[in-house]
Chain A
Amino acid sequence: MARAATTTDAFNAVAEPRRREILDALARGERSVTDLVGQLGVAQPVVSKHLRVLREVGLVQVRDEGRQRIYRLEPAPLREVYEWVKDYERLWTERFALLDAVLEDLKAQQTDPGRQGPPAAESETRDEERES
């Protein structure tokens, strides 16, 4: 398994469950390391290690407030990750665009049945499923 320190992009950074928990917490607002330790119930060095990775890939930003370091979520790199999920959506969008064309043909056949009859095999399938 790759060590945290070798993680160099947002994809890998968010693949780690604990880091997603940290991002989830930060999505609700700024947090100090102490806040995160309390909230996640894990040791401070572990939280710090994950925060370092998240900073390296630009998913969190940090500012000093007195003796505390305050972390906040920087969502821009997530856009790229989001695109991956969107890819599955694009698959279906393309598929349904083709289906639209099929439906247009079926509608045209319905309004003008003489123009082009449905394929023979289609009728067989319809009969079969109507009986079931």
Chain B
Amino acid sequence: MTATNDRRATVTTPTDTQILITREFDAPRELVYQAFTTPELLRRWWHANRCEVLGIEMDVRVGGNWRWAAKAFNGYEFAFYGEYREVVPDERLVTTETFSGVPTAQAVNTTTFTEKDGRTHLEILVAHQTRANRDEHLQSGMEDGLQDALTLLEELVREQI
């Protein structure tokens, strides 16, 4: 794997209802975990240069709530929120996640931090209840809605281009 690829997030769809996001970080896992669980730190990176963070609240303990709110540059305000279900410091977080735009859908996110040789392998597994919700989530980064998604096409394209 080249250094360039290391800097890219990898997004795959292991099943019809899941999204898996992976990335390697050149830092020990307790720091990566810290950046995921500390409001002042999360505020610095979660916006992805695509929105303005309005508020980061997190009560990082089992049963604790979290809510991350933001405003897109077109003025659209939105939030992600949920509850912590599992908290294993430096290792693993399991949370529920709901997007304010689709309040009826709830995903379960499992974030794991694995360290090897001082580097951290991060995995975020997003498990939706239905394929439609999963697809809607995948399209959240997109300009328009392609209604049914693209596991097949993604595989096809990876094979053929």
Show the binding face of A for B, using Cβ within 8 Å: 11, 14-17, 20, 23-24, 27, 73, 75-76, 78-79, 81-82, 84-85, 87-104, 106-107, 110, 119, 121-122, 125-126, 128-132
Contacts and interface: CB of A to CB of B under 8 A. Distances in A.
Given A84-B142, A121-B39, 17 more contacts: A14-B146, A20-B148, A27-B159, A76-B161, A78-B156, A82-B153, A85-B154, A88-B140, A91-B50, A92-B48, A100-B26, A101-B44, A121-B38, A121-B40, A126-B37, A129-B60, A130-B89
B38 A125 contact: yes
Nearest to A76: B161
Shortest Cβ-Cβ A-B pairs, 5 listed: A132-B61, A92-B9, A98-B45, A95-B48, A88-B141
B59 A99 contact: no
Contacts of A81: 146, 150, 153, 157
Given A122-B41, A126-B34, A129-B61, A94 B21 contact: no
Interface residues of B, number: 55
13 contacts: A11-B146, A15-B146, A78-B157, A82-B150, A82-B161, A96-B45, A98-B45, A101-B45, A102-B35, A104-B27, A107-B27, A121-B38, A125-B39
Given A17-B148, A107-B27, A98 B49 contact: yes
Contacts of B150: 14, 81-82, 84-85
B141 A15 contact: no
Nearest to A122: B38
Interface of A is mostly: helix
B25 A15 contact: no
A84 B152 contact: no
B38 A91 contact: no
Interface of B: 7-11, 19, 21, 23, 25-27, 31-32, 34-35, 37-41, 44-50, 58-62, 64, 87, 89, 138-144, 146-150, 152-154, 156-157, 159-161
Contacts of A107: 27, 31
Nearest to B35: A102
Contacts of A79: 157, 161
A87 B129 CA distance: 23
Contact of B153 (A14, A76, A101, A126): A14
A27 B150 CA distance: 14
